Structure 1
Amino acid sequence: MSSSIRSLLLSALLAGGIVGLSIAEPNSAEREAIVAYQQNAFIEQLRDIHESAGFAVPVEVDWESIALPGQAAHYAAEDYWTNVYFVPLAEALEMLTSYDQGRQAVQGKLKRVVVRYDASQASTSDYHSKVALESGVLNINFKPASAAEQIEERTEAIQSSLETLL
């Protein structure tokens, strides 16, 4: 990894925007596409997530696991990561924090969110089984580039898991 990319990522980490970064194996085109996404779309998505939660909930993204090899040209497409992970998360949080009990539960009990992709455990349609809340940590394991029209299903799966905080 070049020193300029490493410095940029360190700056983002220190600013609290990117937590749990694990870029080790992607090729240079994939690394560049990941950084471009982080600097543009992810910053906006993270802002929406924090606003929806009502606080700066840490969001750890395992970029290496969600960056499928050979797909770098698609990382910035809304249907690749944005509508698969981040929009449904923000929408689910917004729904729960729209009333006092939900807002208090989310702000008091949600410690962090972990986004990753494990092909051996992920599905493109059974979203409820791919979201888990354990000890205040929300784990999301959706396949990148899943069907765009399934935002509502992913939002519902995330919301259902978060409702256990109530």
Structure 2
Amino acid sequence: MPSFDIVSKVDMQEIDNAVNQALKEILQRYDFKGTHNEIKLENEAIVLLGADDYKLDAVIDVLKGKLAKRNVSPKCLDFGKKEPASGTAVRQRVAIVQGISKEKGKEICKLIKNSKLKVQAQIMDDQVRVSGKKIDDLQSVIQLLKGQDVGIELQFINMRS
């Protein structure tokens, strides 16, 4: 029985490269001269530090631009609250979302079931497996999910026939 898996994974090496490029740009830009702005990659999160709110927003824009150039979707970033750091500095923690949560998995399964295609979707840990009798139905599911916005970046892997 043909099947494929729906996952949400992020290439951490690409994120590391984007963070390094953004940091390099921040160090060279004229509007950041004389202020303390940082981007640090810590495990599954990015810590942003800006001299003030406006500088932090500019740091976020630089980071998003570098991620986009490296084909990393901004949907994989979960921005936390801005919190004060020393003086007027502002810190923000950005979590990197990996995997499909149970809620998102249920939402994806519901979308697939509402499509009336003859396929079965089941949640397996942090991925969703879709199986059916015809490969055409599976390809229709892929097109359906690419057209929908589920809030996370989806990849389709392990297509087996």
Identify the TM-score tier after normalising by the shorter chain.
Answer: under 0.3
As a proportion of its length, which structure holds more strand? 2
TM-score of the aligned structures, taking structure 1 as reference length: 0.26
